[in-house]
Structure 1
Amino acid sequence: MTDLAPLVPAATALLARARAAGLMIATAESCTGGLIAALLTEIAGSSDVVERGFVTYSNAAKSEAIGVPAALIATHGAVSRAVAEAMAEGVLARSHADLAVAVTGVAGPGGGSAEKPVGLVHLAAARRGGERLHLEARYGDIGRSAVRLSTVKDALRLLERLIGV
């Protein structure tokens, strides 16, 4: 099980900055399975900042829930920059949030390939009417929980960058 407790201070600071800026956050998560939203909503008072979260673990969920074109997934694969960016855009289109973060990757221990190894994660973040960010992280085969925890940390950092823009 992934221990999110060490990330509570960073998440608390993120929520305070979003609150001060009047911004709402939404998430779309694949390899983290809802950990980003869980971390944010662990903090009392988060309901005035966290708008909603989507766990889109399967390719069908990515298409049905947040509008990622199936052809995009077929062309690039679910673990790709194109899909992560489409996930973030889909969240903004299907929510009232101002900021969206999306993650898709190979947490392991299996499922990797030479082209897309265990530990590869694509993160994307978008601000309504504004900045778009992407991060390709290659955490390595450090264990499922560690990949997921590292992804959550980087997702928080992307959201922080969007608030600062």
Structure 2
Amino acid sequence: MWPADIEESARRIVADFTERKLLLATAESCTAGLIAAAITEIAGSSIIFDRGFVTYSNEAKREMIGVANATLKAHGAVSRPTVLEMAQGAIGNSGANISVAVTGIAGPGGGSDDKPVGLVHLAAARTGQETLHREMRYGDIGRSAVRLATVRTALEMLVEIGKD
């Protein structure tokens, strides 16, 4: 179902998180659950996967994971402050101790000069650690390609933050 590199990354995460007793939650906007799907494609993932939040709308971001209305008004949905709150909110509204969050503009429309198609903000959080952030500018490479590239980057960030 998944490209081999994504499947291999997901397998590694499931194995590593099982060994380290880490429990994962996802908060996804532009990927709409693809990160959760990649992880849960792996047998045994139920040991490390608590839940996934698909927070496509601003209302969902506020209601499900506690993103502040002031943050959304000041910075917009596709921003560093929003994705950091999404990652923290995923932990705070679940039993997880690690999370990954993504928000972006997959296209083909919806971009602007400040926030072009292909702009994605990602964050990975872990209880007791500083939250990681990446701003990716994948470009206008097509909706599916932006979403798959985002899954790849999110999995890379989970490997990074999952290390002891």
TM-score with structure 1 setting the length? 0.96
Distance in 2 of aligned mates of 1:72 and 1:10: 32
Structure 1 stretch displaced more, 125-134 or 148-157: 125-134
Counterparts of 1:73-88 in structure 2, within 5 Å, are 73-88=72-87
Match of 2:157 in 1: 158
Cα displacement string for residues 77-111 of structure 1 (whole angstroms, at most 9, x for unaligned residues)? 10000000000010111011111000000000000
Secondary structure of the residue aligned to 1:61 is helix
In the alignment, residue 113 of structure 1 is paired with which amino acid? S
Distance in 2 of aligned mates of 1:74 and 1:106: 17
Confirm or deny: 8 A CA contact 1:4 1:149 kept in the other structure.
Answer: no
Match of 1:139 in 2: 138
Q: Root-mean-square deviation (CA), in Å?
A: 0.9
In the alignment, residue 88 of structure 1 is paired with which amino acid? A
Distance in 1 of aligned mates of 2:127 and 2:95: 10
Confirm or deny: 8 A CA contact 1:123 1:134 kept in the other structure.
Answer: yes
Counterparts of 1:121-132 in structure 2, within 5 Å, are 121-132=120-131
Confirm or deny: 8 A CA contact 2:109 2:117 kept in the other structure.
Answer: yes
Secondary structure of the residue aligned to 2:81 is helix
Secondary structure of the residue aligned to 1:89 is helix
In the alignment, residue 2 of structure 2 is paired with which amino acid? L
Secondary structure of the residue aligned to 1:140 is coil
TM-score with structure 2 setting the length? 0.97
Confirm or deny: 8 A CA contact 1:131 1:162 kept in the other structure.
Answer: no
In the alignment, residue 152 of structure 1 is paired with which amino acid? V
Confirm or deny: 8 A CA contact 1:120 1:138 kept in the other structure.
Answer: yes
Following TM superposition, by how much is the alpha carbon of 1:164 offset from its aligned partner in structure 2, in angstroms?
1.2
Distance in 1 of aligned mates of 2:3 and 2:136: 22
Following TM superposition, by how much is the alpha carbon of 1:4 offset from its aligned partner in structure 2, in angstroms?
2.6
Counterparts of 1:39-54 in structure 2, within 5 Å, are 39-54=38-53
Match of 2:65 in 1: 66
Following TM superposition, by how much is the alpha carbon of 1:44 offset from its aligned partner in structure 2, in angstroms?
1.0
Following TM superposition, by how much is the alpha carbon of 1:11 offset from its aligned partner in structure 2, in angstroms?
0.4
Structure 1 stretch displaced more, 102-111 or 125-134: 125-134
Q: Which runs of 5+ in 1 are unaligned?
A: none
Following TM superposition, by how much is the alpha carbon of 1:71 offset from its aligned partner in structure 2, in angstroms?
1.2
Distance in 1 of aligned mates of 2:146 and 2:48: 26
In the alignment, residue 138 of structure 1 is paired with which amino acid? R
Distance in 2 of aligned mates of 1:117 and 1:4: 27
Distance in 2 of aligned mates of 1:138 and 1:67: 26
Following TM superposition, by how much is the alpha carbon of 1:14 offset from its aligned partner in structure 2, in angstroms?
1.0
Distance in 1 of aligned mates of 2:15 and 2:130: 20
Aligned residues: 163
